[in-house]
A = this chain, B = another copy of it.
Amino acid sequence: VMGDHIYGDGFVEEAVHGEGLVVDPAPRYVDRAEATGVRIEGGRVVAIGKDVPDPDAYDTGFFVLDPTIFAVTAALAQRKASFELSEVMAQAKPPVHIVSGKLWTDVDTPADLKRARAILVSHAVKGTGDGLVSRLINRRVSTRISRLLVDRVTPWQATWATFGVGLLSAGLNLLSPAAAAVLYQVSSVLDGVDGEIARASMRTSPLGGWVDSVLDRYVDLAYLLSLAAVVQFPTSFWPVVALGLLGSVLVSYSTERFRGAFGEDMYRTVPILRFLPGKRDERILLTMVLVLLGLVRELFWVLAVLTHLRVFLTLLLGYRRKTA
């Protein structure tokens, strides 16, 4: 591969099964005017270069070659002191392998670098486990933040900063539950940043994921407990508060324990779970909305019912899937 190119997982997975020059007829992430065009005839390269008019496809800088290519390079080396890989291709006329529309781009200039960073961050969104709110709202904001921070902040710094904002939202309940609810939602948006930075810069680690998950549970605990405390519910209502709090943890527990048992991402094994409401991003937006509407008692009722219903369905669907 070309050393100044970036390829997404999806691109590489398709490209490695090819033979010859991997080309893309419809590149999504490069400026076609700057790209190296390829003329294809009979499934082979017949012309290659930035000056090929109206090219059939573009050189992705990804090659799957066998040792016969060295005969071509040896012949070229006898004629010229230096030559480019595109000259080798023009000479060897290798077959082409089409991979279309997947992530690949090259980085030549500072502007390219900035563009590449933005592309990587927007591709660094977690594959599964995101709720509706995350997909529609949180990720759109968090990826913009991650784009700014990816070269300045480590994933661990983002994890701890997000934890700090979460605890701050809990503390803010003592001053203003409305402001605290907004800050809680802000912390939910920020919660995507550590993972995005980690994935975009290839620094993901199971350790980071583990610590982040446990800290998320503590942010929820701190926020909801301080909210319930400042509202001063009567004793008779506290079992509902406790059920809502516990349900929030048990939604995560039941899916994470599944991964521990089977070594599988439960959202892949039982995809319908992705569409069941009750995940953290959804709970937190709902929390903000209901607190702003002054419906705190209703909030805890909804949490108490919704979360345990979700755990029940998680058990049921997991059991069915595994005994089917």
Using CB atoms and an 8 Å cutoff, list the residues of chain A in contact with chain B. Answer: 206-207, 209-211, 213-214, 217-218, 221, 225, 228-229, 232-235, 238-239, 241-243, 245-246, 249-250, 252-254, 256-263, 311, 315, 318-319, 322-323
Nearest B residue to A308 via CB reads B218
| Contact partner, A319, options B211, B246, B256, B315, Cβ 8 Å | B211
Is B210 within 8 A of A318, CB to CB?
A: yes
Is B311 within 8 A of A262, CB to CB?
A: no
| Contact partner, A214, options B206, B233, B254, Cβ 8 Å | B254
How many monomers of this protein are in the complex? Answer: 2
A-B contact pairs, 23 of them (CB 8 A): A206-B261, A206-B262, A210-B257, A210-B318, A211-B315, A214-B311, A217-B253, A221-B246, A225-B239, A225-B243, A228-B238, A228-B239, A229-B239, A233-B238, A235-B235, A238-B238, A238-B242, A245-B245, A246-B246, A249-B249, A252-B257, A253-B256, A259-B259
* Bound CA span A256–B259, Å: 9
Nearest B residue to A226 via CB reads B239
Contact partners of A217 in chain B: CB under 8 A: 250, 253
Contact partners of A256 in chain B: CB under 8 A: 253, 256-257, 260
What DSSP secondary structure best describes chain A's contact surface? Answer: helix
Contact partners of A242 in chain B: CB under 8 A: 225, 228, 238, 241-242, 245
Is A319 within 8 A of B253, CB to CB?
A: no
- Shortest CB–CB separation between residue A164 and chain B, in angstroms? 16
* Bound CA span A32–B257, Å: 46
- Shortest CB–CB separation between residue A304 and chain B, in angstroms? 11
Is B235 within 8 A of A232, CB to CB?
A: yes
Listed from nearest, the 5 A-B pairs whose CB atoms lie closest are: A259-B260, A206-B261, A238-B238, A210-B261, A260-B260
- Shortest CB–CB separation between residue A209 and chain B, in angstroms? 5
* Bound CA span A213–B263, Å: 16
Known: A246-B249, A249-B253. 13 other contacts (CB 8 A): A207-B323, A213-B261, A214-B250, A214-B253, A217-B253, A225-B243, A228-B239, A235-B235, A235-B238, A238-B242, A245-B246, A252-B257, A257-B260
Interface centre among A207, A242, A256, A259 (most CB of B within 10 A): A242
* Bound CA span A258–B214, Å: 10
Contact partners of A228 in chain B: CB under 8 A: 238-239, 242
Contact partners of A229 in chain B: CB under 8 A: 239
